[in-house]
Structure 1
Amino acid sequence: MRALWLAQGEFNPPGAGDFNLPPIFAGVTKPMVLIVLSVIIIAVFFLMASSRLKIVPSRFQFAAESVYDFGRNNIAREQIGSKDFMPFVPLILALFTFILVNNIFGIIPLIQFPTMSHIGFPLALSILIVYPIYHGVGFRRHGFLGYLKHQLVPPGAPKPIYLLLTPIEFFSKFIMNPITLAIRVFAAMFAGHLILLVFTLAGEYLLLEAGGILKGVSVISFAFAIAMTFLEALIQVLQAYIFALLAANYIGSALATEH
């Protein structure tokens, strides 16, 4: 690789430091602005789509109804159950669309930054929103001791095994679940954006700075960048779906009458 760096200068590959963007003004950073922008985009989208509802929907109304139907039926109903899912549809739909828009920012020209590649944002969604909600509804339905038993005591296991399984279940359900929920989307967005940076900046360096045949290699680098952009778009949608799906699954397991 180092041979590719040598020409008029040296290629400095992108790293984690490239995600620490300087403030735009008064301590406000680009990710903060994008978070607010995503909320505005989602609100305007659904308000415009629902302002003039028709029996025969327009394309815009059909797109909004499709997103709502996907969050309502394919995520909330399937994971929480037809008896309990309705109160949680707004939450699941909001999580899905919010993460989706912030992920897609990573491939939009001029923006080109997936907000969820900053670990603080998915952690806030997981620990401050999803975690208290799904444990809260579980405690409310089963009672304090009933919910702990529901979550920590595997049915049918021999009692001596409880000494081993109960700490593992507690660590998994009350500590690791919210952390892994956030890490999934963060790691995918961070790694995907870093890969795009590597291919794009390497192609630019080879084209502008390298000599001879190495300039032609820049075409390969740019081609990989384009291919990875399409793959990244798929992953961005998939990660938004997985986050909302797991959030609904946690709520469904907390409400379930059987472990």
Structure 2
Amino acid sequence: MLGQAKVLASGDLPFPPTVDDFFLPDFVTGRTDTFWATKITSLVVLAVIAVIAFYVLSYRKPQLVPTKKQWIAESAYGFIRNNVVGSMLGEKDTVRFAPYMATLFSFIAVMNIMGIIPGIQMSPSSHIAFPTILAVVSYVMFNYVGIKKFGFVKYMKHTLIPPAPIFVMPLLIPIEFFSNLIIRPVTLALRLFANLFAGHIILLVFTLGGFAMINANGLLFPVSIVSWAMTVALTFLEAFIAILQAYMFVVLSTSYIQGALAEEH
């Protein structure tokens, strides 16, 4: 975004921003279709390293009276364990799934926050591929644990056949199929992607719009100041949404696991 603003200040960058602003050239050939090492993929690797390094360093020398890093790590894990997984799955299943859900929350939150960090200002979550992969992992997980517990036939029966009069089953079974086995992973990915995509576009519009107004007419300078002030305000809103969407992804993933493990659907 900063690079785009500098170019726009010189009058060379078209306005408004488009979807093409999300497709960055790779680091090797300057093209987006020849090599995997783009800025986006590098940010994903950086997020993985950051999450692993944070938790390893925080628990390298655990103390009874926690250090600041240990307290933050324990608070993040405890929040997901107690308020999400524990409240939905019960004690036994909390032990199984809390570590994964806490890791998932931390990973998505770091990727989302990257969208407002100066010098980075791009979240991998604003590319549909990465939310899709995370949604597929959650999809495979909740179906796997359901099939493992009940067996394939009984799990499909619970998933597709709700308690209802038999004469409405021809209508309900297709609805349950699309709702539980098709729509869930799609909405899980789209919710994360759309919020981060829209947030980045809005920040681009207000940031680059200020430069565009100055280039168009110097008399619009006061309006450009308002545009940049909105950028600052929306950055704080985007930070809140970044954490909220990581939380919502984990809550929904946990709820799907709860439904898969429930005795009665």
Matched, 1:133 2:114: no
Deviation of 1:9 (Å): 7.6
> C-alpha distance in 2, partners of 1:135/1:187?
25
> 2:16 aligned to 13, 16, 23, which one?
13
TM score, norm. by length of structure 1: 0.93
Residues 118, 186 of structure 1: 8 Å contact kept? yes
Amino acid at match of 1:22: P
Task: Tell me if structure 1 keeps the 8 A contact 2:15–2:212.
Answer: no
Residue 117 of structure 2 is matched in structure 1 by 108
Instruction: Please say if residues 116 and 122 of structure 1, whose CA atoms lie closer than 8 Å, have aligned partners that are also in contact.
Output: yes
Match of 1:171 in 2: 178
Q: What SS class does the counterpart of residue 17 from structure 1 fall into?
A: helix
> 2:228 maps to which residue?
222
User: Secondary structure of 1:82's partner?
Assistant: helix
**AA aligned opposite 1:135:** N
Note the C-alpha offset of 1:211: 2.5
| TM-aligned CA deviation for residue 81 of structure 1 | 2.4
How many angstroms does 1:148 deviate by? 0.9
Q: Is 1:200 aligned to residue 207 of structure 2? A: yes
Deviation at 1:163, TM superposition (A): 1.1
Paired residue type of 1:154 = P
1:242 aligns with 2:248: yes
Give the alignment partner of residue 50 of structure 2, picking from 27, 31, 41. 41
Q: Does the CA-based 8 Å contact 1:202-1:221 persist in structure 2? A: yes
- Where structure 2 has 5 or more consecutive residues not aligned to the other structure, the ranges are 1-10, 30-34
Query: RMSD between aligned alpha carbons?
Result: 1.6
> Does residue 210 of the first structure (1) align with residue 213 of the second (2)?
no
* Large movers: runs of 4+ above 3 Å: 8-11
On the 8 A contact 1:53/1:61 being kept in 2, the answer is yes
**What is the match of residue 120 of structure 1?**
129
SS at match of 1:195: helix
**Residue 257 of structure 2: aligned partner:** 251
Structure 2 partner of 1:69: 78
Letter aligned with residue 86 of structure 2:
R
What is the DSSP-based 3-state SS (H/G/I as helix, E as strand, rest coil) of the residue aligned with 2:66? coil
SS for the counterpart of 2:92 is coil
In the aligned structure 1, how far is the partner of 2:161 from the partner of 2:250? 26
CA deviation string 1:122-157 (max 9, x = no partner): 101111x111110011011111111111111112x1
The share of aligned pairs that are identical, in percent, is: 47
* Residues 28-37 or 198-207, more deviating: 198-207
- Alignment partners' CA distance in 1, 2:62 and 2:139: 35
Query: 2:86·2:94 contact (CA, 8 Å) conserved in 1?
Result: yes
In the TM superposition, residue 213 of structure 1 has moved relative to its aligned partner by: 2.4
- Does 1:181 pair with 2:184? no
CA distance change for structure 1 residues 10 and 248 in 2, over 3 Å: closer, same or farther? closer
Once residues 151 and 10 of structure 1 are traced to their aligned partners in structure 2, the CA distance between those partners, rounded to angstroms, is 52
TM-score w.r.t. length of structure 2: 0.91
Q: Does 1:151 align with 2:166?
A: no
Q: Secondary structure at the match of 2:93?
A: coil
Deviation at residue 59 of structure 1 after TM alignment = 1.3
